[in-house]
């Protein structure tokens, strides 16, 4: 596949006003700013402004040129040739070459937590300064999406190839040298990130803004007030139903739900399948039949969330409609527990479990965990809701597999190879959060995913993923609850609100202030 020039400018050129400072509010505080070695939206929002990637995507899932002005997949699906722009510079003024692309791709493969994303990549050839050929051991259908802004930041080899551990490189924060539309001016962890326009950016006339400031606060209410006062121009990944109702009613604000299709965020209840009694599929199914997803989405989430029943989000082209579903049925739940040998005692109790949750997101996490405590009591399961002091404490506990059940929010990341496989492959049972921390193992699932990850024909891939989804929803290592509502809230002064499949985790080089 080859493409020509970049298609952008959603607004007419004469409507665009250049200059100004866009102030974005977020509860997501990045540990550092290099998305090549760190997943998650906290890092992705600033990283996609500071670094450019080979490709970017429109709102129809179609790749568009970015650092690569054209590209071509080999007929055998085992190599991707990137033809780079000849006018692209790093923020220190040095040219971006194929050597930097090769370094970055292999560094991401070695360091990024999404181990399946670039797993088939063997090497990157650089026949000349502006041609990079990514060589793969097997066809890799996710390779194009893996070239996205949040997943493939191109780093300067002369800075990051100095032998220092890339995950802890001192210039992932202060002193960062990027390749994107904005350069780093200031980074105060937990407080703010200030990014200034890069005057020698390779796309002529862009970016439109002079500066982007990312203001960080753990208090959502402070951010909502900031939007209402006009101190902030944009909130990203906004999801609280009370806040959304309030901001939707404000005539000075816009609420945009489009722009998160690539993220594919699912809220779910994960089971530790290696622990009794959750190693029994009948117990897991009994819990599923006791949970009313419609109540959760309508009452607890104010009707802003929608029910999700499978591991591949319903907005994905690979989602299967005929997964195994578990409508509310307390009688069936109790029967399954009896069948599993867990009879109710004189006090009505069968056994005890703990449920953890990610701290900070009450509506999607803590409130659902509290609901589970009251709901599962109806079928004789005593549930203790276990709080963690902060996100690192929760992540450490889950990574150590030290849990019975936990609420979790996990993203599909556009292609199942990137964001779905990691949760179910038995080879990915690791002491790392957002891997297969459920300890789930099924050789058939491994086979289906490994094969689907090599097939470039979309129809054939869908068939493999349909079989995978049927098995996983039947064996239930995870109870899928809801699609996490995500919205970009902006002042009406903001033009060209990002609505591609990656929304605010894509370059905001065409965003402007009216």
Is the distance from CB of 153 to CB of 51 less than 8 angstroms? yes
| CA triple 436-351-376, angle to 5 deg | 75
pLDDT at 31: 86
- Confidence band, pLDDT 50/70/90 cuts, at residue 341: very high
Copy the structure tokens of residue 488: 């970009």
- Confidence band, pLDDT 50/70/90 cuts, at residue 239: confident
- Confidence band, pLDDT 50/70/90 cuts, at residue 45: very high
What number is the average pLDDT over the span 233-249?
93
Compute the distance between CA of residue 51 and CA of residue 391 in angstroms, rounded to an integer.
Answer: 26
Residue 341 Rama label (left phi>0; alpha psi -120 to 50; beta):
left
pLDDT at 39: 87
Sign of the dihedral through C-alpha 468, 265, 376, 302: negative
Chain segment 392-435, per-residue pLDDT in tens: 889 999 999 999 999 999 999 999 999 999 999 999 999 988 99
Copy the structure tokens of residue 289: 């039949």
Is the distance from CB of 471 to CB of 442 less than 8 angstroms? yes
pLDDT at 115: 86
pLDDT at 5: 40
What letters, b where the CB count within 10 A reaches 16 and e where it falls short, cover 359-376? Answer: bbbebbbbbbbbbbeebb
- Confidence band, pLDDT 50/70/90 cuts, at residue 6: very low
* The CATH homologous superfamily of the domain defined by 13-258+487-513: Periplasmic binding protein-like II (3.40.190.10)
pLDDT at 9: 41
The domain locations on the chain are 13-258+487-513, 265-483
- Residue 133 phi/psi, 5-degree rounding, is -115, 110
What letters, b where the CB count within 10 A reaches 16 and e where it falls short, cover 442-475? Answer: beebbebbeebbbbeeeeebbebbbbbbbebbeb
* pTM score above 0.95: no
Name the CATH code of domain 265-483 (choices 3.90.226.10, 3.30.1330.10, 2.40.10.500, 3.10.105.10). 3.10.105.10
Closest by Cα among 280, 208, 231 to 49: 208
SS3 content of the chain, % helix, strand, coil (to 5): 30, 20, 50
Give Dmax over CA atoms of the chain in angstroms: 77
Looking up tokens 């193992």 gives 441
Chain segment 345-385, per-residue pLDDT in tens: 999 999 999 999 998 778 999 999 999 999 999 999 999 99
- Helix (H) / strand (E) element for 86: namely none
Instruction: Please say if the pLDDT value at position 8 is more than 70.
Output: no
- Confidence band, pLDDT 50/70/90 cuts, at residue 139: very high
DSSP structure class, residue 89: B
Compute the distance between CA of residue 473 and CA of residue 1 in angstroms, rounded to an integer.
Answer: 35
- Strand ranges across the sheet with 405-411: 306-307, 478-483, 265-271, 405-411, 351-356, 381-386
Sign of the dihedral through C-alpha 43, 102, 411, 248: positive
What number is the average pLDDT over the span 240-248?
92
Chain segment 265-315, per-residue pLDDT in tens: 999 999 999 999 999 999 999 999 999 999 999 999 999 899 999 999 998
Chain segment 450-504, per-residue pLDDT in tens: 999 999 899 999 999 999 999 999 999 999 999 999 999 999 999 999 999 999 9
Chain segment 77-132, per-residue pLDDT in tens: 999 999 999 999 999 999 999 999 999 999 999 999 888 899 999 999 999 999 99
């Amino acid at each position: 596949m080859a493409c020509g020039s970049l298609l952008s400018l959603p607004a007419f050129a004469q409507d665009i006003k250049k200059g100004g400072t866009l102030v974005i509010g977020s509860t997501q505080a990045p540990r550092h700013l290099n998305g090549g070695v760190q997943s998650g939206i906290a890092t992705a929002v600033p990283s996609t402004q500071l670094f450019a990637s080979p490709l970017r995507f429109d709102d129809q899932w179609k790749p568009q040129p970015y650092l690569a002005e054209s590209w071509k997949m080999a007929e055998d699906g085992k190599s991707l040739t990137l033809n780079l722009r000849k006018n692209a510079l790093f923020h220190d003024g040095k040219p971006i070459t194929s050597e930097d692309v090769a370094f970055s791709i292999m560094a991401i493969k070695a360091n990024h937590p999404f181990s399946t994303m670039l797993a088939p990549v063997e090497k990157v050839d650089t026949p000349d300064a502006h041609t990079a050929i990514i060589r793969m051991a097997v066809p890799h259908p996710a390779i194009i999406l893996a070239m996205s802004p949040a997943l493939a930041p191109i780093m300067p080899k002369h800075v990051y190839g100095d032998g220092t551990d890339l995950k802890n490189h001192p210039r992932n924060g202060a002193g960062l040298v990027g390749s994107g539309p904005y350069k780093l001016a200031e980074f105060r962890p937990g407080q703010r990130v200030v990014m200034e326009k890069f005057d020698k950016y390779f796309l002529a006339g862009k970016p439109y803004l002079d500066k982007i400031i990312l203001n960080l606060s753990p208090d959502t209410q402070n951010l909502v007030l900031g939007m209402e006062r006009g101190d902030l121009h944009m909130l990203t990944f906004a999801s609280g139903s009370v806040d959304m109702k309030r901001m939707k009613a404000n005539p000075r604000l816009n609420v945009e739900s489009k722009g998160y299709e690539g993220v594919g965020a699912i809220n779910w209840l994960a089971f530790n399948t290696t622990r009794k009694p959750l190693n029994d599929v009948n117990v897991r199914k009994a819990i599923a039949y006791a949970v009313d997803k419609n109540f959760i989405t309508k009452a607890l989430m104010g009707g802003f969330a929608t029910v999700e029943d499978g591991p591949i989000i319903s907005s994905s082209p690979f989602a299967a409609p005929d997964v195994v579903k578990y409508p509310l049925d307390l009688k069936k739940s109790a029967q399954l527990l009896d069948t599993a040998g867990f009879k109710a005692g004189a006090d009505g109790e069968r056994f005890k479990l703990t449920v953890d949750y990610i701290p900070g997101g009450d509506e999607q996490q803590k409130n659902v965990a509290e609901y589970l405590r009251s709901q599962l009591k109806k079928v004789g399961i005593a549930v203790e809701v276990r709080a963690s002091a902060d996100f690192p404490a929760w992540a450490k506990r889950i990574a150590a597999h030290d849990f019975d059940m936990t609420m979790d929010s996990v993203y599909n990341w556009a292609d199942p190879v990137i964001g779905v496989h990691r949760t179910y492959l038995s080879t990915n049972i690791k002491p790392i959060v957002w891997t297969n921390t459920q300890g789930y193992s099924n050789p058939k699932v491994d086979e289906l995913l490994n094969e689907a990850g090599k097939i470039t024909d979309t129809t054939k891939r869908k068939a493999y993923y349909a079989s995978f989804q049927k098995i996983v929803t039947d064996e239930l290592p995870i109870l899928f609850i809801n699609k996490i509502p995500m919205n970009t809230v902006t002042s009406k002064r903001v033009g060209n609100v990002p609505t591609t499949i990656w929304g605010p985790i894509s370059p905001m080089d065409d965003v402007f202030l009216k």
